[in-house]
Amino acid sequence: MPIDWKSYPADSVYDELIAPGGRARKGASALKQALTALGDAELSERRHAAELAIRSMGITFTVYSGEDSGTIDREWPFDIIPRLIMKAEWDRIAAGLKQRVKALNLFINDIYNAQQIIHDGVIPRVYIDKSKDFRPQCMGITPPYEAWSHICGSDLVRDGDGTMYVLEDNLRVPSGVSYMLENREVMKRVFPELFSDYVIHPVDDYPAELARCLRSLNPNSTRSPQLAVLTPGIYNSAYFEHAYLANAMAAELVEGTDLEVGTDDYLYMRTIQGRVRVDVLYRRIDDTFMDPEVFNEDSTLGVPGIMRAWRAGKVALANAPGCGVADDKVIYTYVPDIIRYYLGEKPILPNVPSYRCVEKEHRDYVLDNLDQLVVKPANESGGYGMLIGPKASRRERAQFARQIRANPRNYMAQPMLNLSTAPTLIDTHAEPRHLDLRPFILTGEHQYVTTGGLTRVALRKGSIVVNSSQGGGSKDTWVVDL
């Protein structure tokens, strides 16, 4: 039996493909038709083909588990119905992302230098002083192009009225881009005929753009800089991606033990022939693990002396240490002000309206309306440590209220958005599932935004948690011209 769109519930939320009443949205009708033309058997077959492709391509992510093995590799959960974005809308979003990340980089550079934005009273000093990710070791440094967060992954969500908001900016070590690339490969294997109905903008230029961005950071006078990707190793949840990107850029994939800093303050990797200098390091480990001489002295993942090498301007680190100071959910609430302050422009993309718990008026409102708000800690990622007010029990809310009162600086709150949905294949019928979108923005000599990004979808009915470690899956994202 083909998918019955009439009974598809698209009336109470914004659905990306289906308008209220079951009609296809602009641009989606060819896709809807193609899906309708497939019977149950064929739908299952395609889904099975996708699972097989993912399994044999070895597209995995690693989950920490308490069981004896410690970690397990899981195949990447993928839904075969793509998500569509019209090119015109995407162009506007891409411009907004560039604007945003440009301003955020200027902000980080300012914080580690003159701190003009604090002197001018736009952002209170307390937020910087108490920031978990402010690194005094970075003071006085200005990296090339004043760029600190060279690779940023911003999360976008669409609310019930169709507005696209920026939910957060992951400025430290965002992951997911390899899945965006692989999702497209899987779709080409599974639904080759769909690609003839659309002009779908390709996504596969990302690794080349990333390599170009990294090369532009080369601090040394070599014509072709040695690039390396620093991974914590195969037990990291994103190891697949580290290897994927290193491979695609022809960069060396290294672990901390492959590297050393010489007495000349240059960074070297250990090869079968001896030491070879590394000019640009794309590091995929957190600041605090990077250099046991400066940060966490127990860390075995990092490289002793690497901060010294970076400060001496002998190696470029992407992302630069300390850029997490802007990746803080309270600083997030200031991003529109940051854009206006540094660029003198009106923000193109809106923030989700937010309340800062440190401000008494806001805090009182948050505490009075916990059952309608989502409360987030300033410095967590992966959806951990959040309170989803409307879904929490009375007790959970009471406990969260105590935490907020005890440490208001650490919390901000947002209204519960009515996240948009898209049809997702459940057994052999389509059901709406909530989703978000993570595009990646590169900043070096030039700026670049991925075409679309990684669409993450909450596979559990009604859930809005899209993280792969917590029951999330993903979809291919098509930016299309009609």
Given the rule CB under 8 A, which residues bind other proteins?
55-58, 226, 229, 234, 239-240, 243-244, 246-247, 251-255, 257-258, 269-273, 276
Q: Which is nearer to other proteins, 169 or 252 (CB)?
A: 252
Q: Which is nearer to other proteins, 134 or 282 (CB)?
A: 282
Shortest reach from residue 312's CB to other proteins, in Å: 23
Residue identified by tokens 């990646």 is: 440
Q: Which is nearer to other proteins, 254 or 435 (CB)?
A: 254
Shortest reach from residue 383's CB to other proteins, in Å: 27
Q: Which is nearer to other proteins, 106 or 251 (CB)?
A: 251
Token duo for residue 131: 């920031």
Shortest reach from residue 201's CB to other proteins, in Å: 23
Q: Which is nearer to other proteins, 253 or 387 (CB)?
A: 253
The reply to whether omega before 319 is within 30° of 0 (cis) is: yes
Q: What is the Cα–Cα distance from 166 to 154, expressed in whole angstroms?
A: 7
E strand or H helix at 79: strand 78-86
Shortest reach from residue 376's CB to other proteins, in Å: 35
Tell me how far the alpha carbon of residue 367 is from its chain's centroid. 29
Contact 410, 360 (CB under 8 A): no
Token duo for residue 332: 């997030």
DSSP state of 381: -
Q: Which is nearer to other proteins, 196 or 221 (CB)?
A: 221
Q: What is the Cα–Cα distance from 76 to 50, expressed in whole angstroms?
A: 10
Shortest reach from residue 430's CB to other proteins, in Å: 30
**Could you tell me which residues come within 8 angstroms of residue 84 by beta carbon, excluding any fewer than 6 positions away?**
16, 17, 25, 27, 28, 31, 478, 480
Detail the DSSP E strand segments found in 179-311.
199-200, 227-230, 252-254, 259-261, 267-271, 274-277, 280-283
Q: Which is nearer to other proteins, 240 or 289 (CB)?
A: 240
Shortest reach from residue 55's CB to other proteins, in Å: 7
Half-sphere exposure of residue 322, counting CA atoms within 13 Å on the CB side?
Answer: 25
Shortest reach from residue 185's CB to other proteins, in Å: 10
